[in-house]
Structure 1
Amino acid sequence: MSDEDLAAAWRDPALLRARLDRARPVPKRLAESLNRGDEGFEELRPPGLPRPAAVLVGLVERPGGPFLLLTTRTAHLRHHAGQVSFPGGRMEVADPDPAATALREAEEEIGLPPDEVEVLGELDPYDTVTGFRIHPVVGWIRPKAAWIPDPFEVADVFEMPLAFAVDLANHRREQRMRDGRMRTYWTLPWNGRHVWGATAGIIVNFVQLLRWRP
């Protein structure tokens, strides 16, 4: 996809939906370039099958172009405390699919009504070292009101310009030690925010899919 086509696609939900549809199933060459999660750390994950979860990769419609909807988790949470994340959480038995989970969690966490979200498609799952298999659900958001964060789970709600995220110059690699091993991961530092780990990996996957040239 040329930069002109890419710029047009990220401003039009119909074009984004078509782009996601064309990439399913993900071609082998593209699949090999995507982040599957914390690879090489399988033995550090909790025993048993990964626990299914879903997040909303929300694109908020704004006059200057769409923005990615992100939250900062509160410091006392058990998993990923204080980190930047998409709205989302564990799938429940009553949820018929990942989209239902993502929409339910977004409403609970930031007060986003499901009828303000147009679901465009899904990205490939992303496994975390903490034992979750995250299903990213892409949605186009036309908000009618301000966000209402749940004070127990969400310390802050903010938006990152999608134009910033699709610029490959803003994708950085960092390293840190975890359980005696060096971990390498993506980061997207933006406006004083440190977006990293699964959230950054999912953003990078989304951008790679948008930029995919068969």
Structure 2
Amino acid sequence: MSSSAARIVKGIELNLGKPLPGYEAQKRMEPSVRVDLLGNTTPNQSTRKSAVMILLYPSGQGFNFVLIKRQTYDGPHSGQMSLPGGKFDDTDQTLDDTALRETYEEVGVEPGQVRLLGRLTELYIPVSNMVVQPFVGFTPQKPMFTPNLQEVEYIVEVPLTDLLAEANKSVRVISSHGRPITAPYYNLNNEMVWGATAMILSEFEEVARMIL
């Protein structure tokens, strides 16, 4: 890894240890409606914890991160573009463990390959009644991705510079669970990335802009 790449990674790690941009950054990509099917907007006694991973790795003169296209299933995030991640379970001691385990289970990257740089602001997802903790990780070489085809339809590798490009942001009206909503989104590799994933990436975008 070049000295400039190492400087960028260290800068992101340092910024993740400082006060985070938080909801002010997340809300730039917030859909017009963020409620569950009963209209709830806040965590409750049955809310579960989860974690996702923004996994960075060198690519050419810059960095990529990985997104997954979820398989179609009977659930709130069916067929969506997402970050690797999932629910905290009894085998996890911490949410760090959840993020690393799910990254391994979904895209085949061993936990020992990943250096955790820090965490972003947690986000409540009403439609799945989850509080998600985003982590940022780094591998010094491009991983050999192996998608779990039971959960992942395919993997998308995204240049970090694409996340920072204003031309890749737009808004459209979509139908979500039978309701029309206005959804800001990133167009990344011709994929519409919206909802909680876009909100998480919006905060990471601001952290990355401090360095790049």
Greater relative contact order (CA < 8 Å, ≥ 6 in sequence): 2
Report the CA distance between 1:204 and its aligned residue: 0.9
TM-score, with structure 2 as normaliser? 0.82
Taking the aligned partners of 1:207 and 1:96, their CA distance within structure 2 comes to 29
| 33-42 vs 156-165, greater mean Cα deviation | 33-42
Q: Indicate the SS of the match to 2:204.
A: helix
Match of 2:72 among 63, 70, 75: 75
Question: Where in structure 2 are there 5+ consecutive unaligned residues?
Answer: none
Task: Give the equivalent residue in structure 2 for 1:152.
Answer: 150
Report the CA distance between 1:179 and its aligned residue: 5.8
Q: Indicate the SS of the match to 2:55.
A: strand
Which contiguous aligned blocks of 4+ residues in structure 1 show a shift greater than 6 angstroms? 8-11, 36-39
| Partner AA of 1:44 in structure 2 | G
When residues 47 and 84 of structure 1 are mapped into structure 2, their CA distance, relative to the original with a 3 A threshold, is same
Q: Indicate the SS of the match to 2:146.
A: coil
| Partner AA of 1:167 in structure 2 | A
When residues 119 and 177 of structure 1 are mapped into structure 2, their CA distance, relative to the original with a 3 A threshold, is same
Taking the aligned partners of 1:212 and 1:183, their CA distance within structure 2 comes to 31
| Partner AA of 2:145 in structure 1 | W
Alpha-carbon RMSD across the aligned residues, in angstroms, is 2.7
> Aligned residue pairs: how many?
201
Report the CA distance between 1:81 and its aligned residue: 1.5
Superposition pairs of residues 1-214 of structure 1, within 5 angstroms: 12-22=8-18, 24=19, 26=20, 30-35=21-26, 41=35, 43-45=38-40, 48-76=45-73, 78-128=75-125, 129-143=127-141, 145-178=143-176, 182-211=180-209
Taking the aligned partners of 2:171 and 2:47, their CA distance within structure 1 comes to 26
Q: Percent of counterpart pairs with the same letter?
A: 29
Taking the aligned partners of 1:185 and 1:50, their CA distance within structure 2 comes to 24
Is the 8 Å Cα contact of residues 68 and 152 (structure 2) preserved in structure 1?
A: yes
Question: Where in structure 1 are there 5+ consecutive unaligned residues?
Answer: 1-7
Taking the aligned partners of 2:81 and 2:193, their CA distance within structure 1 comes to 6
Taking the aligned partners of 1:127 and 1:31, their CA distance within structure 2 comes to 13
When residues 94 and 66 of structure 1 are mapped into structure 2, their CA distance, relative to the original with a 3 A threshold, is same
Q: Indicate the SS of the match to 1:133.
A: strand
Taking the aligned partners of 2:159 and 2:167, their CA distance within structure 1 comes to 14
When residues 177 and 31 of structure 1 are mapped into structure 2, their CA distance, relative to the original with a 3 A threshold, is same
Q: Indicate the SS of the match to 1:76.
A: coil
